[in-house]
Amino acid sequence: MSDQSVVPIDQILPNKLPLVALMGRPIFPGIFTPIMIGNPADVKVVDEAVAGDGLIGLVMLQNETETPGIADLHKVGTAAKIVKKINLPDGGVNIFISTLKRFRIRKTLSPSNPIVGAVTYLEDEEDNTSEVKALTRALISEMKQISENNPLFSEEMRLNMINIDHPGKIADFIASILNIDKTEQQKILEILNVRKRMEQVLVFIKKEQELLRIQKRIQKEINEKIEKSQRDYFLKEELKAIKGELGMATDAKSSEHQRFKEKIEAFKFEGEIKEAVDQELEKFSLMDPNSAEFVVTRNYLDIISSLPWGNPVPEHFDLKTAMGILEQDHYGLKDVKNRIVEYLAVRKLRKDATLDGKIPSGSIICLVGPPGVGKTSVGRSVARALGKQFFRFSVGGMRDEAEIKGHRRTYIGALPGKIIQGLKIVKTKDPVFMIDEIDKMGASFQGDPASALLEVLDPEQNNSFRDHYLDLPFDISQIFFIVTANTMDTIPAPLLDRMEIIQLPGYIDVEKLEIAKRYLLPKSFEKSGLKKTQVKYSRDSLLHIANGYAREAGVRNFEKNLDKIHRKLAMQIVAKEEEASASGAAGVPFQKFAIDRKAVEKHLGKPFFPEEDIKKADRPGMSVGLAWTSLGGDTLVIEAEAVLGKEGFTLTGKMGDTMKESAAIAMTVARKLGSERYGVLQDWFEKNHIHLHIPEGATPKDGPSAGITMATALLSLMRNRIITGNLVMTGELSLTGQVLPIGGLKEKTIAARRNKAKHIIIPKQNMRDLDDIPDHVKKGIEFHPVERFDEVLHLALPD
């Protein structure tokens, strides 16, 4: 037998190969595996290869694309021999291949359809050191651990791995069966150095082992939870059986059902309520505790059983004690206090006169006034005076009517509205409810809360109020509702109609002085840790704070300024104590402070409202009027100026439409009187452009009550005369010269007093409103009622 020479493998394999693009992972040399080919171009390559030598090149795509070219392929791939081909019904083929050797694409022979490249076959860089042997053992050992814990590794895979005798092929085989990202597998395929390839594969084996450890731990925790739940279930069943033998409730559901049943039977419901509640109770008894509907029904029954369905306890109060509590908590607010006492008197009289025991209904009061005058704090005082529970909630910025009337139970997380929630909290049927900021509600696609309040605040409807969540009639007519607002302009008319309006005016400096002495100073001392005997204020210093730093309608800024002074005093006390402690002194003597006008300016800085800031009409074309805003009364300076030029009339100062119309009327009346009575020539109007301005141009202004003020300023300009000093005015002006009534006279009078005015011109029809103004506010002010504008001119611009 003749000797046959061994032909090297690079001489057997051709130098050019048809290439098949792999969408998935790369395939390593030394693997026998099936591949599914679906791309028509690749199917054609396979058919041609089978017809020839059966050799193809397998290269992974860099970027997945439907029509790949050679530019889309990685540079390193694997040569493979097609062992068998099976045609598939959809036109694709399933081929079984035996991979042979790595290659690198050296040159493009055909860029696409089919892809053919000239290739160079790559040899492993052998490194027969002891390190490689150690790595081989480590790879086999670590893979044995993985295969024992992973059922996906078959016995055949384990045997194949042990029987491979080449270190590089072991690394390739392990890399092909590990769950590694295809990009990382391609990198391993491109590593020719056997030792480096084995080190890289060992890193991925360690990562796989870590993942298996985490997976095992998670599986163990899940099994423990399942075992615990099964154990708990058996224990609960045993406990249920024991309770059954003892005649006790067998589970939590049964005990809850019994609790609900006892509470509901105690209410002695009738008619619709009894029928609906009994149905819910029966449904609850038949439900599976694990169902979602069980929790919904349970919450519903819990709310029903927590509401105060029964009549409230009898009341015991007397008018003298109630008035004493109101006087103790608040200074002034005479109208509010009288209204509360009237309500108590009527309630007591009706209760005494009612033979059938029917309890009188509640009341609905709306307190309207500027911020800081005590509207919200009145609610707690009223509740204390009546001896009732108090619940407050704000509707400012509310845009969803479900906040008032609740959500329907069909929604996840549904809740009753604020009214029912409040009754559940106070646990009585006749509490005092305060609804704050009712003028700041808004409407949206979710509904109109103001409309939802119509039923709540209507005495004819609220005896059978239906909350969407409860869906049962509930009597809320015995609740005493107190509603607060800064202005009535934004409250819908139907809602206003259901409430009794009580106006709370702002405070003058004398009232602020008393409030500070009685309430603000003790409260501020407590907040800052000072003792009452440590700080003494003079009357002048408190008046200086009121007039120079807190000249608003309420007392919030007054309180803030007091707090600021006391914080600075507290800092001085602590600093001296620490200084004495550091120097080893025995102690610091009790520190006292006398706060006078100078000390106020030392702690608060220069006044925000200096005395010279009082608004005056000190030149021709100026007059001072009175305005009413949501922040209380205010003084308004009107300025008029004539400029040589084309005839015209300009208005500035951010006036509203009503005020612009009032200015036009004032101009007409002033021009007529100027020409007919005061001899202002027509030539003057033709050669002058008149500009009427109201300072503080960033503040919106509107309303007709500045009519006489604007006309007076215009005539003052035309006659070049200054109006009478310390005089302010308010009144709407008609085109025929009549002075019409205005609103907010009380607030305007307080503003005039703060501005040191001595004379106020008012419409004659507002004389009736003077009785509502306290005497201490009117003291030192002379009111001049007028019917026509001629009378205004007689007072403001006398001949």
Q: Which two tokens stand for residue 553?
A: 């309608």
**What is residue 367's DSSP assignment?**
E
Give the distance between the most distant pair of CA atoms in the chain: 153
Pairing of strands 115-121, 93-110: antiparallel
Q: Catalytic annotation on 560? A: no
Rounded CA gap, 382 and 343, in Å?
Answer: 11
Q: Reply yes or no: is the peptide bond before residue 416 cis, omega within 30 of 0.
A: no
C-beta of residue 622 within 8 angstroms of C-beta of residue 716: yes
C-beta of residue 57 within 8 angstroms of C-beta of residue 19: yes
H or E element in which residue 502 lies: strand 500-503
Phi then psi for residue 335, to 5 deg, are -60, -45
Rounded CA gap, 556 and 98, in Å?
Answer: 90
Judged on CB neighbours under 10 Å (0-12, 13-18, 19+), 42 is buried
Q: Tell me the C-alpha to C-alpha distance, in Å, between residue 255 and each of 233, 248, 249, 259.
A: 18, 9, 6, 6
Nearest Cα neighbor of 594 from 602, 584, 606 is 602
Rounded CA gap, 386 and 138, in Å?
Answer: 87
The residue annotated as part of the active site, out of 748, 764, 778, 779, is 748
H or E element in which residue 21 lies: strand 16-22
C-beta of residue 774 within 8 angstroms of C-beta of residue 747: no
**Which residue shows structure tokens 């597998």?**
185
Nearest Cα neighbor of 501 from 776, 767, 766, 744 is 744
The residue annotated as part of the active site, out of 305, 528, 705, 716, is 705
C-beta of residue 570 within 8 angstroms of C-beta of residue 529: yes
**Which residue shows structure tokens 């070219």?**
69
C-beta of residue 670 within 8 angstroms of C-beta of residue 715: yes
Q: Which residues contact 204 (CB under 8 A, 6 or more apart)?
A: 175, 178, 180, 184
Nearest Cα neighbor of 656 from 627, 678, 631, 681 is 627
C-beta of residue 749 within 8 angstroms of C-beta of residue 773: yes
H or E element in which residue 168 lies: helix 167-177
Polymer length in residues for the chain: 799
Q: Catalytic annotation on 85? A: no
Rounded CA gap, 323 and 329, in Å?
Answer: 10
C-beta of residue 15 within 8 angstroms of C-beta of residue 69: no
Rounded CA gap, 337 and 374, in Å?
Answer: 12
C-beta of residue 665 within 8 angstroms of C-beta of residue 736: no
Q: Which two tokens stand for residue 502?
A: 């009580």
Q: What is the CA radius of gyration of the chain?
A: 47
Q: Tell me the C-alpha to C-alpha distance, in Å, between residue 74 and each of 186, 351, 616.
A: 8, 97, 90
Mind telling me the catalytic residues? 705, 748
